[in-house]
Structure 1
Amino acid sequence: MESNKYITVAYKLYTIEDGEREMVEEAKADHPFQFISGLGTTLEAFENQIVNLKQGDKFDFTIPSTEAYGDFEEDHVIELPKNIFEINGKFDAEMIKEGNMVPLMDSEGRRLNGTVMEVKEDAVIMDMNHPLAGADLNFIGEVVENREATNEEVQGMINMMTGGGGCNCGCDDCGDGGCGDHDHDHEGCGGHCHG
């Protein structure tokens, strides 16, 4: 079995949609995106491009939307009753406004994020597609570090992914499915936390 690698990368992420290119995220060398290979915390297509590169290697690759966050699905745009967004009987107008990303939970207790598209008189229109759905992702950057992960680092990442205490991965925001499920759920750690 291949060993787990502790990898940090600095990159700029561009989306390419309908021929339009836009920078949506940057992980700088002084605060790189960090992940451990083989744990499923990043997009598989992203990890496959990076895992065999060495420290200092530069990269420029594009992941098609089908291997990233999929196509934009119209049926993932849903209308929810306004009263589910009430706190103490009062609609949460501060949080529930157009363009905001809101954490929700489905009937099985799974956490997901939705983007508020429109607030109507008695309903809220939510887009449950990933913010990068429908876009090809172009990553341009370089490998800051690529080495064997220690057992402690691997265990720390597993603990974080399973909610078993602390974030040992150096993210700013570990609440969105782990380092690398950018996940920039923007998903937290520089990678739309990629996953």
Structure 2
Amino acid sequence: MKITSNTVVSLTYELHTTTPEGNQVFVEKATEENPLVFLYGVGMMLPKFEEHLTGLTVGDEYSFELEPADGYGEIDPGAHVDLPVGMFKEGGAELPNVGDVIPLQDNQGNQFRAGVTAVGEEIVSVDLNHPMAGKNLIFAGKILTVREATADELAHGHAHGADGHSGH
């Protein structure tokens, strides 16, 4: 079976990015023992990631690179915010450290993560760009399984595991 809309795909991958000097940097991987399983074509994955997998079948190997515009976008230099230290000290919590990734929530209840870039006496500066913004994403892996999505998976909008029986 080929990867098309409304199929459940399980695959392995290794993800690398590149440094400005052109060296590859390992980011993460999914293995045969712990594969990435997803419902294809419902917007859960990067569109260009899915596009590169279209039509592949079990056993096919793939390798491709996504430019920032096709991944997590370019870095927005204006996506930095200074937050008052007081919001971190509520409930006796400790201040974050530079380099930490912290959970935040906007006024509409949307949750997101931000990278801490500076910690001062009055403010904590955070970068709201996605950690992979501005980076090329280099994927390589193998297709492990492809199957039709179940009615429940289609109704829920996500895969229920490689076999379709890992519920919630």
Counterparts of 2:76 and 2:5, CA distance in 1: 37
Partner in structure 2 of residue 92 of structure 1: 94
**Higher deviation after alignment, 55-64 or 68-77:** 68-77
CA distance 1:142–1:113, change in 2 (3 Å): same
The Cα of 1:122 is off from its aligned counterpart by 1.0
The Cα of 1:152 is off from its aligned counterpart by 1.9
TM-score by structure 2 length?
0.86
The Cα of 1:91 is off from its aligned counterpart by 4.4
Counterparts of 1:125 and 1:54, CA distance in 2: 46
CA distance 1:17–1:134, change in 2 (3 Å): farther
Partner in structure 2 of residue 58 of structure 1: 61
Partner in structure 2 of residue 193 of structure 1: none
Partner in structure 2 of residue 135 of structure 1: 135
- 3-state DSSP class of the match of 1:155? helix
The Cα of 1:148 is off from its aligned counterpart by 1.1
Residue 30 in structure 1 maps to residue 33 in structure 2: yes
- 3-state DSSP class of the match of 1:75? coil
Contact kept? 1:156, 1:169, Cα under 8 Å = no
Query: What does 1:1-195 align with in structure 2 at a 5 Å threshold?
Result: 3-18=5-20, 19-88=22-91, 90-93=92-95, 96-157=96-157, 168-169=160-161
Cα deviation code 1:135-172 (max 9, x no counterpart): 010101101111211112223445xxxxxxxx9458xx
The percent of aligned pairs where both chains have the same amino acid is: 30
How many residue pairs end up in the alignment?
A: 158
Letter in structure 1 aligned against 2:103: P
Counterparts of 2:71 and 2:34, CA distance in 1: 23
TM-score by structure 1 length?
0.75
Q: Structure 1: which 5+ residue stretches go unaligned?
A: 159-166, 171-195
CA distance 1:134–1:52, change in 2 (3 Å): same
Q: Structure 2: which 5+ residue stretches go unaligned?
A: 163-168
Alignment RMSD: 1.8
Q: Which has the larger radius of gyration?
A: 2
